[in-house]
Amino acid sequence: MFSQTLPIITSPDPILNEVCTDCELPDRSLSRLAKQMINTMYKNNGCGLAAPQVGVTKRLIVVDCDEENWGKDPLVLVNPELVETHGEEVVGSEGCLSLPGISVPIKRPEWARVQYYDLDGELWELESDGLLGRCLQHEIDHLNGKTMFEACTPQDKIKALKDYEIAREAGAKPGETSVQ
Ligand SMILES: [Zn+2]
């Protein structure tokens, strides 16, 4: 089932801080990449994955935040753009497959509206709060070269960097948000 997976790039690989370029549509190679990214996300128990996390600096993300039916209906978003956020800024604890072994408190607006293209080049719009709203903002950050270290407060960054060093020494793997 997970035969076509890709290795996950982990911090501090500089590719994670690159600003990704727009995908040109139609592009048949994108479908294959999206499929591999979906497999990689599921294999590592993630709820979202951005192309730079597998070493491709293109604006492509996959997400599945459906807690009840996780694994069934992944979303592929090509050139996603955060067009609007609103609501109170709430702090949530986030994990990231590229920063294995840690979770970081990150403040984000509750609600996000995202425009994106599907693989056929059709334009869509998606609005969400909760886990999906947060995940979309996290993944779009990746496309702008921003990891959780850049998204959190400076104080939290100091702690997160320390936690990450410890987690790396302990051999944390993608998909683990804490190391015993
Ligand atoms: Zn991430």
Catalytic residues: 139
175 pLDDT band (50/70/90 cuts)? Answer: confident
Separation of CA 138 and ligand 1 centre (Å):
6
d(CA 80, CA 135): 13
pLDDT digits (tens, 9 = 90+) for 94-153: 999 999 999 999 999 999 999 999 999 999 999 999 999 999 999 999 999 999 999 999
Pairing of strands 75-94, 48-50: unpaired
% of the chain at pLDDT higher than 70: 97
In the predicted model, what is the mean pLDDT of the chain? 95
Q: Is residue 128 part of a domain?
A: yes
pLDDT tens digits, 4-34 = 999 999 999 999 999 999 999 989 899 999 9
Q: Is residue 178 part of a domain?
A: no
Please give the residue range of the domain that contains residue 42: 14-169
pLDDT at 176: 80
Q: Is residue 158 part of a domain?
A: yes
d(CA 158, CA 63): 28
Neighbours of 63 (CB within 10 A): 26
Other C-beta atoms closer than 10 Å to the C-beta of 71 total: 12
Q: How far apart are CA 160 and CA 154, in angstroms?
A: 10
What's the rounded Cα separation, in Å, for the pair 163 and 159? 6
Ligand 1 centroid, distance to 124 Cα (angstroms): 23
Q: Which ranges in the chain belong to alpha helices (H)?
A: 28-43, 130-143, 148-151, 154-169
* Domain assignment present for 164: yes
Task: Give residue 135 CA to ligand 1 midpoint distance, Å.
Answer: 8
pLDDT at 158: 98
Q: Using alpha carbons only, how large is the chain's radius of gyration in Å?
A: 15
CATH code where residue 48 lies? 3.90.45.10
Per-residue model confidence (pLDDT) at position 3: 61
- Angle at CA of residue 93, ends 89 and 47, nearest 5°: 105
Quick one: which H or E segment has residue 134? helix 130-143
Question: Quick one: CA torsion of 177, 51, 45, 157, rounded to 10 degrees?
Answer: 10
pTM, entire model: 0.95
Does 6 map to a domain? no
Cα separation, 142 vs 60, in Å, equals 10
Domain presence at residue 124: yes
Do the domain assignments include residue 176?
no
Tokens, residue 15? 């590719």
pLDDT at 180: 39
Split into its structural domains, the chain has a count of: 1
Does residue 117 belong to any structural domain of this protein? yes
pLDDT at 118: 97
The H or E element containing residue 90 is: strand 75-94
- Kindly give the distance from the C-alpha atom of residue 16 to the centroid of ligand 1, in angstroms, as a whole number: 9
CB 150, CB 139: distance < 8 Å:
no
